[in-house]
């Protein structure tokens, strides 16, 4: 039910209280895959995944997809690596044929292109999972865009947004925990987030990740840049991991701005 501006479940929100169908089941069963079988998805499966990606919303289609089959170079030795790019080059070429000049600013083009490319990437993941092909999102592309541009000989105005390692899963991990619904769905206005709401969400996330031994299995504990680390894998969980990540990394905009400029996007002039 809805109460004021905040969604309040009338019963405990669980998968059991939701509508079920094959599409919903596939989405809710999503998990990142980091172990893959040696066999590679078929050409038919690859085409199906990319075509399903194309059917994502937004008509401008400001995206392109790069494919690598060199599993020895891929993270987790996945048989396939897709790089989903923001692609303004193609629409610019179409406009050239129409006698139009592209005048939209680069920031707007990037923001719209992010939506197009991200929706396509998610469609590809869902489509893949529906036919038995697993994947893991890799967010590093925005920080290595210049090297990807060189590797694939990308023209100006094409920016790698995200990568997908894909293949047949050789593991069956459970889906990762998510926030409680009352920290996600708001109606009318954004509510004041009380300490109780935040603490409840933190407890839910941390207990879920600890129960799965998620960071312990991956060996994915982020070190501290200062001070002594008192956490072990017995109590190191999602909220501490996220706090260390966003409290220590990427403080400067210099690297992402350099990558954008290398791909032909000028958000802020270099002399500013």
Tokens encoding 247:
């409290």
* Distance, CA of 233 to CA of 219 (rounded, Å): 9
Nearest-angstrom CA–CA distance, 161 and 163 = 7
- The pLDDT value recorded for residue 115 is 97
pLDDT of residue 2: 34
User: Does the pLDDT at position 18 exceed 80?
Assistant: yes
pLDDT band at 47 (very low <50, low <70, confident <90, very high): very high
> Is 0.85 surpassed by the pTM of this model?
yes
Contact 133, 79 (CB under 8 A): no
Distance CA 142, CA 121 (A): 15
Do the Cβ atoms of 4 and 188 come closer than 8 Å? yes
Q: Which pLDDT score is estimated for 8?
A: 39
- Domain locations in the chain? 31-173+252-262
Segment 147-179, tens digit of pLDDT? 999 999 999 999 999 999 999 999 999 999 999
Sign of the alpha-carbon torsion through 19, 20, 26, 30: positive
Q: Does domain 31-173+252-262 fall into CATH 3.40.50.880?
A: no
Q: Measure the CA–CA gap between 49 and 43, rounded to whole angstroms.
A: 10
User: What tens digit of pLDDT does each residue of 212-227 get?
Assistant: 999 999 999 999 999 9
Task: Using the predicted structure, report yes or no on whether residue 9 has a pLDDT greater than 70.
Answer: no
Q: What is the pLDDT of residue 59?
A: 86
């Amino acid at each position: 039910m809805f109460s004021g501006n905040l969604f309040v479940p009338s019963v405990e929100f669980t998968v059991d209280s939701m509508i079920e169908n094959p599409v919903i089941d596939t989405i809710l069963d999503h998990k990142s895959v980091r172990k893959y079988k040696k066999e590679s998805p078929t050409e038919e499966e690859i085409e199906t995944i990319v075509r399903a990606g194309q059917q994502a919303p937004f008509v401008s289609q400001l995206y392109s997809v790069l494919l690598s089959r060199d599993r020895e170079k891929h993270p987790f030795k996945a048989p396939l690596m897709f790089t989903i790019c923001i692609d303004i080059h193609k629409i610019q070429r179409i406009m050239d044929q129409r006698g139009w000049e592209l005048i939209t600013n680069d920031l707007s083009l990037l923001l719209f292109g992010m939506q197009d490319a991200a929706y396509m990437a998610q469609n590809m993941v869902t489509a893949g999972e529906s036919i038995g092909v697993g994947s893991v999102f890799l967010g590093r592309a925005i920080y290595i865009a210049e090297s990807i541009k060189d590797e694939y000989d990308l023209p100006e105005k094409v920016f790698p947004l995200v990568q997908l390692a894909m293949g047949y899963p050789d593991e069956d991990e459970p889906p990762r925990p998510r926030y409680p619904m009352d920290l996600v769905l708001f109606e009318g206005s954004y509510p004041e987030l009380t300490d109780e709401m935040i603490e409840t969400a933190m407890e839910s996330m941390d207990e879920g990740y600890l129960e799965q031994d998620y960071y312990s299995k991956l060996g994915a504990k982020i070190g501290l840049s200062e001070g002594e680390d008192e956490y072990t894998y017995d109590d190191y969980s999602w909220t501490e991991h996220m706090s260390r990540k966003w409290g220590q990394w990427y403080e400067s905009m210099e690297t992402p701005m350099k990558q954008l400029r290398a791909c032909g996007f000028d958000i802020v002039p270099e002399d500013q």
